[in-house]
Structure 1
């Protein structure tokens, strides 16, 4: 078990922010988990410690958002996500997390800019952007990218949001579907993480110490999201994607330049 107090000074707020995100907030808070913990330990070890805690958060979220799900979204996106995890596993020795963060951040920033342009165009025409229907080909593509980036750097949120936010589902359905999608992905990721030797006694015991924070933070996030109206929830989510994109671009560029 980790005993360094500086590690826990970084890890405790990291787990709380990730828990709020898993409760339904999504966005940049989830991406701060590994970088915060990496202030005291290596990013690889931080990701390994965080994954079992994510599983605990997923269990709490699945119970909290039970009965809220769009199965069609899962049917479209999950096969691609499984392919993305397999690609991430197969290319783990060559693909770097900073490279993935830079690519995903750039795409996510483009997505938000496109949404803003559509909002301005709709305002000029006296209306609002209409919800889009399911697009299976696009859903499979973004699902694959979500699985890949989730495996490489726990950054699967932006690709998932790029496909699902334009659906403009009820916030409870959107959140419940997202919870199920990433719970399945995180459970599957356990196998290749074990195979790559990411779990040892020190990491797992440290995860166990931090795990009690997971349900508290997750339930707090869900409590807030349940009380948000759609006309507040969706602009908020796009703002979170925007800051997520900036964070990914910053991290990816800084590491590549270094």
Structure 2
């Protein structure tokens, strides 16, 4: 645990406020996939557990703000499979967190950051192609478990589930509703596990209250930026941030 004073230091908020606003912009205007970059950034100035614990309530707040418009518009068969698989994924993530140390979690967050960038580049270059046929239910369960695990240890559960849902040729609304609904439930499960593991502390929750307006501001800016800011510059910036923070976290973990 960092010194409590660090959480209320100007230098901490100089990092945390832009990171939280960025997460809100990502989830509010460009899909939720890149929002976990905020956790990677915060893990540079906090312990990994504190970074994850600080971001989870803020991500849940942003999700809650966007849940109502998509209520019951999800594709239930695929959402159900992702949730069934997600539960054991969260449990495995909790066990890994409990049995390892900060450096292992720091390494996992850094690795997820770099893998996310590699995955996006591979898709853009056509190296990684989406299946032209719907993937079977068994893949949905495996993907759900993978998403639950990666979401628990780094808030990066989006890529595995995205590959599965895109293969189903869901409508834009069904896809977005699935994403919001499934990860809202997974985040609730994570919150319970984080509480049991002692990741949440009173100091972190108080800092959450201070940062909550910036999370909502970011979500509002994301909605406004959706039709004004091209996706390519936004994601290019995201990839640079993830490569830099991911590399630094892996270096710190190994040294």
Structure 1 residues 90 and 207: CA distance shift in structure 2, 3 A: same
For structure 1, which runs of at least 5 residues remain unmatched after alignment?
A: 122-128
CA distance in 2, matches of 1:257, 1:13: 27
- Which of 105, 121, 125 is residue 116 of structure 1 equivalent to? 125
- CA RMSD after TM alignment: 3.5
Match of 2:200 in 1: 199
Structure 1 residues 236 and 175: CA distance shift in structure 2, 3 A: farther
Structure 1 residues 155 and 107: CA distance shift in structure 2, 3 A: closer
Structure 1 residues 77 and 252: CA distance shift in structure 2, 3 A: farther
- Which of 249, 252, 257 is residue 254 of structure 2 equivalent to? 257
Match of 1:142 in 2: 143
Structure 1 residues 131 and 19: CA distance shift in structure 2, 3 A: farther
Deviations 1:217-245 (A, max 9, x none): 223324555x59xxx98x99998997798
CA distance in 1, matches of 2:38, 2:16: 8
| TM-score normalised by the chain length of structure 2 | 0.78
Deviations 1:78-108 (A, max 9, x none): 1111110011112223352244342685487
| Structure 1 residue 20, shift from structure 2 partner | 1.7
**Structure 1 residue ranges, 4+ long, deviating more than 6 angstroms after superposition:** 235-245
The count of residues paired between Structure 1 and Structure 2 equals 245
Match of 1:125 in 2: none
CA distance in 2, matches of 1:203, 1:169: 38
For structure 2, which runs of at least 5 residues remain unmatched after alignment?
A: none
| Structure 1 residue 65, shift from structure 2 partner | 3.4
Deviations 1:28-53 (A, max 9, x none): 64132123223433232122121111
CA distance in 2, matches of 1:115, 1:32: 19
